[in-house]
Structure 1
Amino acid sequence: MAEQNDSLANEPETAATSLTRRTRARRQVGRRPRAAATVATTTASTRPAASTAAKRPNPVVKPLKSLVILSMVGGLIATIALPAFGANLPTAEAKTIQQMAVDDAQSLVVASDAASTDLARDSYSATTSEEIEKKKAAAAAAERARLAASVASSQTRFSVDLSMVAPGSGAVRWPLANYRLGEGFGTRGGAHMGVDMLANAGEPIYAAAAGVVKVSQESYGGYGVAVTIDHVINGQRVGTLYGHMTYGSRQVVPGQTVQAGQIIGLVGSTGRSTANHLHFETYINGSNVDPYAWLQANAG
């Protein structure tokens, strides 16, 4: 049999001669690796799954991180706030040993049957010179007020013509306008230190000279209701005393300045007295002198 050698020209193009064939061949060759690729892909897809499963975070880790962050923030806040808060805290005042001892003494408890007593201001006396002076001033003011009230009451009880003045116009005046001379100075064995000027009850008594009232009392020893006045006459210290006045008739108070001939009270019979009269005494530089002789020499 003859060999049948097919012409290559009549046969379809092979992969070596035809581009189409060549392309198809490439596609076929590509298909084979596709299966392998599929397998590789499958393998690869399986591997990342495992890797993803391996890298998936633990659900406990995230809350722990949040807790750590909050703790750090809280620590920072405390670090800033505590010093500021501490700076604003009140500091305790410094105390001396004596103060601490006093505090301890105040808190000391001692068993006793004695009852507690509240101390009042009037329960103890003044201990400083200022308090003593204040008490003296208060007592003097109270006495002046009492005397003024007594004088005011006496003025309502007695009708006294205050416009009246003692006889004369000199620096020394007679203490009574109408009187009769009684016992004189030095009688009773030298015990009578004044002169008795007898007059009717209620007769006005005048200041013998200008001066300052020293005593004005409703009860001045044996003189009864009496007034004393300090004067300075011709450079000498002169004192005059007016005793046995009527109760409530005094017209002056201690410390009051009076003028010569000013009414100071009314004749009476108080104290050691048996009749209405004025007991009048005079002192010069602290020594008793005969008041009647002094009036005769100076009154005018």
Structure 2
Amino acid sequence: MVRDIESPAKTSEDRAVARTARAGINARKAVKPLRSIAIFGAVGALVAAVALPAYASSKPAETATTVQQMAAVDAQSLVVASDATSASLSRGTFTATTPDEIEKKKAEEAAAARAAAKAATAAAATSAGSRSFDIGNYALVSPGSGEVRYPLPQGSYSVSRTVGGAHQGADMLAPAGTPIYAAAAGVVRASAESIGGYGVAVMLDSVIGGQRVQTTYGHMIYGSRQVQAGETVAAGQLIGFVGSTGRSTANHLHFEVWVNGGLMEPIAWLGANAG
């Protein structure tokens, strides 16, 4: 049997080739992980290159938008403040800047309104009195004859209200305790501490110039009546004192005049008959 015995030279060559082959295989095995790492690195760099600029560009835009919004809000508040300071302070029909000026204006307007109302009431009362007086004339006697007297001292009162609507007399404002006199001679028809809304009141029946005249004196002070029902009184006789009883909110004399059953405007009637 013949054996093929390798020569030493061939064996060394074969070993070198084997070693080279193994080195190549090992090199290829080492390259694969490096290649994967390189590929992942390249992909990551690409993603970063795309994402980071977009993110960076979005942040300033948001910041810019916020600044613009703040500027718009500030600008709006400035416009409102400008409008508020340029407009005048209005209080009804007048303008003022301090509480004292406002109160002063209110007082002036109230005084003017009272004066206008007083003038209108007086005009309406005169018209109403002339319509209700059936003989068409206030004068019953000669003025200054003494048959008709003013129920309050001249200069002691002011007229705040007279005939109109449901109000059937003249309200003659005067201090509490001012003396009240009978406007004409006659007989006391009623005298009491409470007569309906008149409060403490006295009512007289008289005949003046041939006409039947009834006069009423209301809102006297409690206990101040000087006459009783059925008594006869003279023109100008003291019958009581000014107060604020019954349906009253201030010291005054409520004075009524009726002639032959017709309501008269008392102030015009006094002027025509008492002088």
- Structure 2 length-normalised TM: 0.46
- Higher RCO (C-alpha under 8 Å, 6+ residues apart): 2
Structure with the bigger percentage of helix: 2
Higher radius of gyration, 1 or 2: 1
- Structure 1 length-normalised TM: 0.43
